[in-house]
Structure 1
Amino acid sequence: MPFAPRLSCALVLLAPLLLQAAPAPWYYWRSLVDGQRVCAQTSPGPGWERDSAAHEGAGCQPRRKVLIVPMR
């Protein structure tokens, strides 16, 4: 099979995965040892539990609302 058809077939199969990509949400994590809280996208490791709902903004900041002002 020539290279071009294989490449186009691979792109067609991978396109849905690339289109669904999104940044991971941020969470506050609480230490089970001393109660310290940290903000991270994934668990810092064993001994930590998720302590908040998902934040869409980076670093556990709420997403900023964008105000669109129509111009005439």
Structure 2
Amino acid sequence: MKKLWVLALVSVLGVAMAAYAAPAPFYLWQSLATGRYMCSANNPGSGWARFSGPYNNAGCRDY
């Protein structure tokens, strides 16, 4: 009986946490060395500067 109660609690918490999950925003990054652009949700490193954003898609487009 105790296992069933724990399973039910974990299930409810999992559903509640999933309701608040959101995708990471994407940003357009510019290379400091070459000037090229890259769209990424993560910081690509020290050789890149954030150029624009946030965007809600991996193409870094507003539509």
TM-score (norm 1): 0.69
Structure-2 residue corresponding to 1:14: 14
Bigger radius of gyration, 1 or 2?
A: 1
TM-score (norm 2): 0.75
Cα deviation, residue 24, structure 1: 1.4
Alignment coverage as a number of residue pairs: 63
Structure 1 stretches of 4+ with a deviation exceeding 4 A read: none
Comparing both chains, which one has the higher relative contact order based on Cα–Cα distances under 8 Å and sequence gaps of 6 or more? 2
Deviations 1:24-59 (A, max 9, x none): 121100112222111111112221121102111331
Letter in 1 for 2:29: W
- For 2:39, what is the secondary structure of its paired residue? strand
Q: Following the alignment from structure 1 to structure 2, what is the Cα–Cα distance between the partners of residues 20 and 37?
A: 31
For structure 2, the 5+ residue unaligned runs are none
For structure 1, the 5+ residue unaligned runs are 64-72
Structure-2 residue corresponding to 1:51: 51
Q: Between Structure 1 and Structure 2, which shows a larger proportion of strand residues?
A: 2
